[in-house]
Amino acid sequence: MGGITEADVAAAIGRIDEIIIREVVRTQASRLELRRAIALAKGPADIAASLALPPRMQRLIDLMAVALPEARRSTLETSRAA
């Protein structure tokens, strides 16, 4: 199974930012990895757990946290609670 395409990324997150889309495609992640990264980025930030992930997943989660407004909100709320 090949990596995701720009169309796959745009379908998952919208055409928010072309640079983000290209960076996600460059990871050569699968559709499943992209879906997982989106879910993890939207959830509460668990730094220790994310450091245990492979570098590609860490990069995807970082990109999704920047690209998705709800992911940014979740990260901010988690950091304020700490």
DSSP per residue over 5-68, as a string? -HHHHHHHH-SS-HHHHHHHHHTT--HHHHHHHHHHHHS---HHHHHTS-HHHHHHHHHHHHH-
Q: What is the chain's alpha carbon radius of gyration, rounded to the nearest angstrom? A: 12
- Amino acid type, 51: L
Q: Over 70: is that where the pLDDT of 77 sits?
A: no
pTM as predicted = 0.75
Residue 4, Cβ density class (10 Å: 0-12 exposed, 13-18 middle, ≥19 buried): buried
pLDDT at position 48, please? 65
Q: How confident is the model at residue 1 (pLDDT cuts 50, 70, 90)?
A: low
